[in-house]
Amino acid sequence: MFEWFYNLFLPTPTPDITQSLITIMLAIGGGVLLGRLKIGEVSLGVAAVMFMGLLLGHFGYRIQPDLLVFIRDFGLILFVYGIGIQVGPAFFSSMKQEGLKLNILSVSTVLLSGVVAFILFKLTNMNPENVVGIMTGAVTNTPGLGAAKTTLHEIQANFPDRTFSDPAIAYAITYPLGVLGIISMIYLSKIVFKVDSEMEMRKFRMLRIKSEVPLLAKKCRITNDNFIDKSVYQVLKELGVEILVTRLKRSGKEHVTSPTLDTHFQKNDVVMIFGKEDEVDKFIQNAGRESSDLFIETTGEIRVKNLFVTNPKAVHKKLVELDLYNKYELKVTRVFRSGQEILARPSLELFYGDKLRVVGSQEAIEEVEKIIGNSEKKLLQPDFLSLFGGLLVGVLIGSIPIFIPSMPVPIKLGFATGPLLAALIISRYGGIGAVHSYINSGAILFMKELGISLFFVSVGVHAGEGFYDNFIKYDGWLMMFYGMFIFLIPLLFMIIIAKYFMKLNFLQLTGLISGTYTDSAALAFSTSFLKSDIPIQTYATVYPLATIIRILVAQFLVLLLV
């Protein structure tokens, strides 16, 4: 009577599509539950899906080969594309600050991991596939494993007589070592360096205050006769400052307006100006004095509202092209994009999903809404043209053959690097043609979690098929011993350079470690353990480049060693 039920849920060596889907769902569902279990402050998170897949694979559960390959590749594509879209804007902006130094240290650490792996290959009798698997597992780099497997398939397609073992076996053996080892090093470093989290937080904030020029608003009374009867545009040009005059009140009057660039100053006008602190102060020093007038702060007919860019006709247009400064009694004071606050300069190009802070009359705001779009509902709806268009661009980039002399086959960036590069480029420029970069945070989180879960299921179930036998056959304990050198030597190098030479804040250091080792579990531990979100900022700064370099190192090792 229940034979159909047993056929669905009991393991079989030749599953059909339905049985394969049941295995996938069991692995993801069971893995999610396992990942929520905590030992102290540590949990496996989504990585537990791979271990659940290993367990199911060990007990005979299988996935149809074609379906297995599909969910592995598609899952990896979704995951790395979501990461690229999420951290892209912060990645590029950080390169203008201390991000360049952090990325140089991060890349040096990644390359050192490859060097240690190469030395181990020369000193041991391990085959290249296991060396690469140990390396990607010890540094918890899933995209690197995907790139290595893709490269091995390319070589096998060109040389059918050659056979290779699966690097996912060594990866699965050393992955727990990488996760727990990195978390342990963060914990021990806090004890060794006698870190006080609150003190580190205060130090970090003081450094940021000194290094960043904040955007602020101040009131100024125009008393300089040289500026009387001159337009706002003329005065700003003469002073050479990029600020915004958002409000104006004539002397002796209570009426407040939002001036255009053609508005002329009069004696004792009070204006509200907005911009970087040094440029705001320069304007006040030259134009008159700081004012304490309270009437200009009253709303009256002036409104402050956030507008979202959702009209395709406004996308990739500069603010000056939309003529918002002169045509309407309104000012765009700042633009919020991917968590960043940007001064609304006339030359600023708008991206889909940008949030504009505007100040002006109700009528002007309503007119500008027609131009900008301002449909929050539209932002909540998934734009599959942009999503799958971006994925297509990523697949195309990853499929371009790159011919390198002396290499047996052309190298390809693959499904790990291609979509990541595409996402970074798209997020940097706001889109390519009809493909835009905006994906709401909930959708990005879902895409990342679904993608990495599908990849972990495929890797886990496939590796679990002979995991125990392979652990005995390849001496799993020895693999873990070798893996310790690959993750520990570069990690110690990075900690010493960051702490003693770069004088890096410990909160940033934990984010640097997590990002360089592409370890989301270590990042989650850091933010919880240190009770701070600062590690996330450094993680986002180094993660994209670290991921790309780790992928390339894994591919080059395969090509050099096989």
pLDDT in tens, 366-422: 888 888 888 877 777 777 888 888 889 888 988 888 776 666 666 677 776 788 888
**In the predicted model, what is the mean pLDDT of residues 162-180?**
79
Q: Which residue segments constitute the domains of the chain, with CATH numbers given?
A: 212-378 (3.30.70.1450)
What's residue 105's pLDDT? 92
CA 354 to chain centre: 17
Does the pLDDT value for residue 111 go beyond 90?
A: yes
Q: How confident is the model at residue 170 (pLDDT cuts 50, 70, 90)?
A: confident
Q: How confident is the model at residue 107 (pLDDT cuts 50, 70, 90)?
A: very high
**In the predicted model, what is the mean pLDDT of residues 50-70?**
85
132-144 per-position pLDDT tens digit: 889 988 887 877 8
CA dist 539 and 526 (Å) reads: 11
What's residue 112's pLDDT? 94
What's residue 421's pLDDT? 82
What's residue 116's pLDDT? 93
423-460 per-position pLDDT tens digit: 888 887 877 777 777 887 788 888 888 888 888 888 78
What's residue 406's pLDDT? 60
Does the pLDDT value for residue 122 go beyond 80?
A: yes
What's residue 190's pLDDT? 82
- pTM for the model stands at 0.73
Does the pLDDT value for residue 216 go beyond 70?
A: yes
Q: What is the mean pLDDT of the chain?
A: 81
Higher pLDDT, 267 or 141: 267
Q: How confident is the model at residue 253 (pLDDT cuts 50, 70, 90)?
A: confident
**In the predicted model, what is the mean pLDDT of residues 217-235?**
88
What's residue 490's pLDDT? 92
Higher pLDDT, 208 or 160: 160
Does the pLDDT value for residue 41 go beyond 70?
A: no
What's residue 215's pLDDT? 76
CA 46 to chain centre: 17
Instruction: Please say whether the beta carbons of 507 and 534 come within 8 A.
Output: yes
CA dist 373 and 356 (Å) reads: 11
Minimum mean pLDDT range among 57-61, 301-305, 529-533: 529-533
CA dist 464 and 101 (Å) reads: 41
Q: How confident is the model at residue 326 (pLDDT cuts 50, 70, 90)?
A: low
Q: What is the dihedral of CA 248, 253, 256, 258, to 10 degrees?
A: -40
| Of 216, 130, 184, 210, the residue nearest 561 (C-alpha) | 130
For the record, the structure tokens of 71 come out as 């969910």
Higher pLDDT, 183 or 67: 67
Instruction: Please say whether the beta carbons of 117 and 557 come within 8 A.
Output: yes
CA dist 358 and 334 (Å) reads: 8
% of the chain exceeding 90 in pLDDT: 6
Which are the contacts of 222, defined by CB distance < 8 A and separation ≥ 6?
Answer: 228, 265, 266, 267, 268, 269, 270, 271, 287, 288
What's residue 358's pLDDT? 83
Which are the contacts of 131, defined by CB distance < 8 A and separation ≥ 6?
Answer: 117, 120, 121, 170, 557, 561
Minimum mean pLDDT range among 97-111, 168-182, 392-406, 520-534: 520-534
190-207 per-position pLDDT tens digit: 888 887 767 777 776 666
Q: How confident is the model at residue 76 (pLDDT cuts 50, 70, 90)?
A: confident
